[in-house]
Amino acid sequence: MKLDSHFRQSKGPEREIIEGLRDSRKVKCRGGPQVVEVINEIIYGDVGKSTIRKEITNILKKNDRALANDNETAAEASMVCNQIEAFNASLNRLHRLVYGL
């Protein structure tokens, strides 16, 4: 399954990015506390990277065990897509706070 393969390959680089974000919370920069808040949201929030990975893992596990119901899986996948859109919006917000764009 292509999703499973891509998902597994992205884990290493993702960890590096999250570690970089954690470290960046310590650096004073434009946006101050708001930047830290958005970084925490990106890492730990309801639409954060960790949450999204857990949801994708759950979908893949169901599929591996042939427990997937097409309608249920489609609804879960749609929810993950919405989470990814919200996550991307958080990244854009962080970018605007840091770079003032």
> 18-53, pLDDT tens digit by residue?
777 777 777 666 667 888 888 888 888 777 777 888
Is the pTM for the entire model greater than 0.75? no
Q: Which domain holds residue 73?
A: 1-7+41-101
Confidence check: pLDDT of 1 > 60 = no
Confidence check: pLDDT of 94 > 70 = yes
Which is more confident, 2 or 52?
A: 52
Residue 21 lies in a domain: no
Based on the structure, what is the number of domains in the chain?
1
Which one, of 85, 88, 60, lies nearest residue 73 by Cα? 60
Confidence of residue 93 (pLDDT cuts 50, 70, 90): confident
**What pLDDT is stored for residue 29 in this prediction?**
65
pLDDT per residue as tens digits for the range 64-86: 666 656 778 888 888 888 888 88
Distance in angstroms (rounded) separating the CA atoms of residues 51 and 94: 18
Handedness of CA 34, 36, 37, 41 (dihedral sign): positive
User: What's the length of the chain?
Assistant: 101
Residue 79 lies in a domain: yes
Residue 33 lies in a domain: no
